[in-house]
């Protein structure tokens, strides 16, 4: 990785502004999943051990530049303090004079969490004046928020250009593991792409077709490919206006000698409901009032065999409506097959992470990305603004 990391920076006694991703799910002020908080702990602990004065900045939800009490980071502060087993100070206004004073009063190894940065209108527009106010709070900037690195915001891109900057340990791992998989994978290399719409992942599929040996398609997006091949799709989710695009991707796979696998059977129902009666059908047996909600058993075997022979796997997107138990079988089977791979297995963010965790297989994966949109854009081969703004190696330690 060419970007400076936190290990390249001398931080003893310095105020270090760390952009973290504490955008965690909450219900009635209670955190329901603290995965993203835990993911930031190695960087925070490292900085504390090195005697840095740690200032944390994060967004939560979409308050759109207004103060929304239900989107306060106070519950996050409390949970972080529990995980660190150390006090975490909190600043209710991230950019007023008191915030500046608080950062200057911090002791070596202390941690201060700023209130939700999206309370400020200039955050999402990357306002230079707001970025300058955040920059006053620190001597060094570290970006550890891979999940927000695809956004050019004041705290993800603007501040990085005003202070000595580097990647955190989580950011480093995200970029290194996924970067190595895309550039120098152990082969065979397979990617599994699912989800609702092919239009959401056009660039991902095109980029991966230049790198993988096999591409497995599932979820609602598979219906568009099947329609493009002349199969009926009934009432299934389908993008009828994207069939030319699907045919183009199929042609690209054929031209480049890549295996593009599509379902050979499906689980269908007449209603989109957890208790709807379902049945397995071949592709030519779909009726006009059927909707495809999962891949079928033959497809599971086909995909499991392809996965088993692979040595590098990237998976992004479920195979069906995995939130409903009877339509989660395909996704669960793929998760199990990926977990059994003797090689590098990467879960590329989004619903795939939830599916792997639901199956209790998260610990058996090589890497689970904390980024949703950021993971997708990385897999598309696009440069992430929050990464591009960080300093490159070669200039010596800071």
Q: Which of 197, 258, 270, 311 is catalytic?
A: 197
**Any catalytic annotation for residue 201?**
no
Separation in Å, CA 250 to CA 123, 149, 254: 41, 31, 6
Q: How many Å apart are CA 57 and CA 85, to the nearest integer? A: 19
CB neighbourhood size of 223 (10 A): 28
Q: What length does the chain have?
A: 398
**Any catalytic annotation for residue 350?**
yes
Q: Which of 350, 371, 372, 386 is catalytic?
A: 350
Q: How many Å apart are CA 35 and CA 293, to the nearest integer? A: 28
| Pairing outcome for strands 26-27 and 30-31 | antiparallel
Place of tokens 């791992």: 173
- Both structure tokens of 251: 């042609």
Residue 3 β-bridge partners: 392
Q: Which of 51, 61, 109, 373 is catalytic?
A: 373
Provide, for the chain, the percentages of residues in helix, strand and coil under a 3-state DSSP scheme, each rounded to the nearest 5.
40, 15, 40
**Any catalytic annotation for residue 13?**
no
**Any catalytic annotation for residue 77?**
no
Separation in Å, CA 323 to CA 188, 293, 350: 31, 11, 13
Residue 15 β-bridge partners: 53
Q: Give Cβ neighbours of residue 305 (< 8 Å, ≥ 6 apart).
A: none
CA angle 301-320-192, nearest 5°?
A: 60
Active site residues: 36, 197, 350, 373
């Amino acid at each position: 990785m060419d970007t400076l990391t936190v290990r390249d920076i001398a931080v003893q006694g310095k105020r270090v502004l760390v952009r973290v991703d504490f955008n965690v799910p909450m219900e009635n002020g209670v955190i329901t999943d603290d995965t993203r908080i835990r993911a930031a702990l190695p960087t925070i602990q490292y900085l504390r051990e090195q005697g840095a004065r740690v200032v944390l900045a994060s967004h939560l939800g979409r308050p759109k530049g207004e103060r929304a009490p239900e989107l306060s980071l106070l519950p996050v502060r409390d949970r972080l303090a529990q995980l660190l087993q150390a006090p975490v100070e909190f600043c209710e206004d991230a950019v007023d004079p008191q915030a500046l004073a608080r950062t200057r009063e911090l002791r070596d190894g202390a941690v201060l969490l700023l209130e939700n940065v999206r309370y400020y209108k200039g955050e999402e527009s990357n306002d230079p004046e707001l970025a300058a106010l955040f920059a006053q709070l620190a001597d060094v900037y570290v970006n550890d928020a891979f999940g927000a690195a695809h956004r050019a915001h004041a705290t993800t891109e603007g501040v990085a250009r005003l202070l000595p900057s580097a990647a955190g340990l989580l950011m480093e791992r995200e970029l290194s593991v996924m970067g190595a998989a895309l550039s120098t994978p152990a082969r065979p290399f397979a990617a599994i792409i699912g989800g609702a719409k092919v239009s959401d992942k056009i660039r991902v599929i095109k980029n991966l077709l230049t790198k993988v040996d096999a591409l497995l398609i599932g979820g609602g997006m598979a219906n568009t490919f099947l329609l493009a091949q002349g199969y009926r799709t009934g009432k299934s989710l389908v993008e009828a206006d994207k069939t030319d695009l699907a045919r183009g991707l199929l042609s690209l796979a054929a031209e480049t000698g890549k295996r593009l696998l599509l379902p050979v059977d499906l689980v269908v129902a007449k209603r989109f409901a957890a208790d709807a009666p379902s049945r397995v059908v071949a592709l030519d047996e779909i009726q006009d009032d059927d909707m495809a909600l999962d891949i079928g058993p033959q497809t599971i075997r086909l995909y499991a065999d392809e996965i088993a022979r692979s040595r590098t796997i990237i998976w992004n997107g479920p195979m069906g409506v995995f939130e409903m138990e009877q339509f989660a079988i395909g996704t669960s089977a793929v998760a199990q097959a990926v977990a059994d791979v003797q090689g590098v297995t990467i879960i590329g963010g989004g619903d795939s992470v939830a599916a792997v965790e639901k199956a209790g297989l998260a610990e058996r994966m090589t890497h689970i990305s904390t980024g949703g949109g950021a993971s997708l854009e990385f897999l598309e081969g696009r440069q992430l603004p929050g990464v591009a703004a960080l300093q490159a190696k070669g200039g010596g330690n800071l």
